[in-house]
A and B are shown apart, each in its own frame.
Chain A
């Protein structure tokens, strides 16, 4: 996309440099002149918030590693050493631990926003799939990070999750031994998880670069789902989006700080303050909250392999959403039926999350099965059919028209939007 203004250096040294490597020009076109739809709402600030959280996690993580010891007999005490003896170690560690949860809160909001406004649709399929890859990498990173303090929940969570791979026919047990580096979760497991926990965030950062690149090729979606048609539909990224993102980030940081400073252990598990003990199993082994919906699905299927496939299928299905959604209208704002099904689906996800924290017995299992089926039905049946049968509302001709129509108040003002261009 062409920008509002191009970067032309005046300084001779900069001119010399720019003609050899147009780095400043790239930054200028990406974060200053980049045209951004004028009607973005605050749900669109979560992209920036996620970048902030990634940087926060990497910086705190790098410093934590300076004080952490990845060994089965030393890891727990080294984390406590950080909490007690390292200057502001408690701040670094709580920031990193709560930061992971904040990262997931932000990514879920970011994904829900994408799903609601149809941000995965043509031409943003690759952008969406890159996002799904980032999400997968985040899940792996978060899981391995939770193992590092080597508390009871670290150990038993690692045992349960790595054991899932044993369900794979023929090679399953070999894969599990390979993951463990032995015949049970032990020091070798801790060491490889530590290594990968340090590696994966940089892979995330790499995919984020691709994600942002893809975004800047196809441009941002917006609440109307109508592509910008003229310069009037967009504003330059700076100052408009920068200031809005900055405000969104500070609001998010207030939310983050509430957990970080006042209830830092709320999102964790008390059992993880007990050093790992292979001989004592905790009463309930519960993964971190961000895996709970998938954990509920895993336990809903009576067959182990079936459960594992269901759980991974729940993530895999996200990759195909661009093709499962057959609607020609992009934004959920103009899709009355889709809108309802979207909120039902969101409630199903939250319900699964709640069930994941409950013991797998009685009514919880039955409810888990119903919600698991609904989760898949939403993607595999409802989304394809909705596009065929739903009668969408009139879509505005342009972003500017939608914006001006809305701000004039009453509906008749948006004359263009009333044009008979109903699709589907």
Chain B
């Protein structure tokens, strides 16, 4: 045991030397607790998205989140893209056609509305940031396109070094999960909540403008999945992660192939090197 311990301390020590203790930036302020680490299907070296979960997450996004949050990099064609929610092209087309997209100008010089196509992007709920702020008590609901990668919390020493080995990259999803499940009906005693804000255990400063977005039974699932806030949040966060990193599966798959190749190639080179140097003391 002491052997493995010392190996680990050596490994960590050298990693520390190499990385000079790089800590990711912190979107979280002092005072908020660390979000608990959750299980995610897309974590780890063989991580992948659960198609049914992405479809449910899309449903939650469509029915709840998208009434305030934009996702301007999200195109309807992405729904049928490999490594995504696994809709067929016809299904994605049907989704697109439910939306009216502004196009133009036409030959008469007028803008007009037409049903969405696969190449269209998800229509934003507000025409501009000012309109969004005006409707949301001054707060700007962040765009969902890269949001799952744009949130984090400080892991601290030595956890951030261990994260290299365990490949922990899910600070964003963990934080958003904690946030969505971290609403309190009443702020704790002694905490004065500003007008129009809501108390959230995990939000920096605890006073969040977004009202509790999800409640049990709010979205009707057709596949019998439990209709709870926890389940909704897991589903929509998976969807958000896919939206932020649509080629995550391809990346991890290619990574494994590259690793196998490099390890075999490295092994061959090692023995070749030994053979070349066999008669030279060095």
Bound-complex Cα distance A84 to B78 (A): 9
Within 8 A of A (CB), among B138-170: 142, 145-147, 149-152, 157, 163-164, 167-169
* Assembly CA distance A286 to B27 (angstroms): 12
Q: How far is the CA of A268 from the CA of B164 in the complex (A)?
A: 13
Interface magnitude class on chain B:
35 or more
Q: Which of B20, B157, B281 contacts A38 (CB 8 A)?
A: B281
Knowing A257-B258, A263-B164, A263-B169 touch, does A353 contact B45 (C-beta < 8 A)?
A: no
Interface-centre pick from A38, A77, A80, A269 (highest chain B CB count, 10 A): A269
Of the candidates A283, A349, A354, the one whose C-beta lies within 8 Å of that of B26 is A283
Q: Which residues of A contact B (CB under 8 A)?
A: 38-40, 77, 80, 83-84, 90-91, 94, 105, 108-109, 153, 235, 239-240, 243-244, 246-247, 250-251, 253-254, 257-258, 260-274, 282-284, 286, 288-290, 292-293, 346, 349-350, 353-354, 357, 403-404, 407
Contact of B150 among A257, A271, A289, A290 (CB under 8 A): A271
**B78 / chain A contacts, CB cutoff of 8 Å:** 84
Contact A350 B21 (CB under 8 A): yes
Q: Is B266 an interface residue (CB 8 A)?
A: yes
B25 in contact with A269 (CB, 8 Å): yes
A153 CA / B282 CA spacing, docked (Å)? 48
* A269 pairs with B270, CB closer than 8 A: no
Give the residues in chain B near A39, CB-CB below 8 Å. Answer: 282
A232 CB, min distance to chain B CBs, angstroms: 10
Question: Measured between alpha carbons, how far is A246 from B255 in the docked complex, in Å?
Answer: 20
User: Contact at A243–B24, with CB atoms within 8 Å?
Assistant: no
Name the distance in Å between A138's Cβ and chain B's nearest Cβ: 15
| Cβ contact within 8 Å between A244 and B169 | no
Closest beta carbon of chain B to A186's beta carbon, Å: 18
Q: CB-nearest residue of chain A relative to B147?
A: A273
Contact of B146 among A80, A251, A253, A284 (CB under 8 A): A80
A203 to B146 Cα, complex, angstroms: 35
Binary contact track B164-184/A, C-beta < 8 Å → 1, others 0: 100111011000000000000
CA A84 – CA B26 in complex, angstroms? 25
Closest Cβ neighbor of B77 among chain A residues: A85
Q: Jot down 20 A-B pairs with beta carbons below 8 A, ordered by A.
A: A38-B282, A83-B246, A84-B78, A84-B246, A240-B276, A247-B269, A266-B22, A266-B163, A267-B19, A268-B24, A270-B149, A270-B152, A271-B27, A273-B146, A283-B29, A289-B20, A349-B20, A357-B21, A357-B23, A407-B281
CA distance A284 to B258 in the complex (A): 36
A247: contacting residue among B27, B28, B247, B270, CB under 8 A = B270
The contact of B149 among A265, A289, A346, by CB within 8 Å, is A265
| Cα separation A153 to B28 with both chains bound (whole Å) | 15
Interface centre among A39, A262, A270 (most CB of B within 10 A): A270
CA distance A404 to B29 in the complex (A): 59
Interface contacts beyond A91-B251, A265-B24: sample of 10 additional A-B pairs, CB < 8 Å, sorted by A? A40-B282, A84-B73, A247-B273, A266-B24, A269-B25, A270-B149, A270-B171, A273-B146, A290-B20, A357-B23
In the complex, chain B residues whose CB is within 8 Å of the CB of A288: 22
Of B26, B262, B273, the contact of A254 (CB 8 Å cutoff): B262
The answer, among A261, A271, A272, A289, for a CB contact under 8 Å with B258, is A261
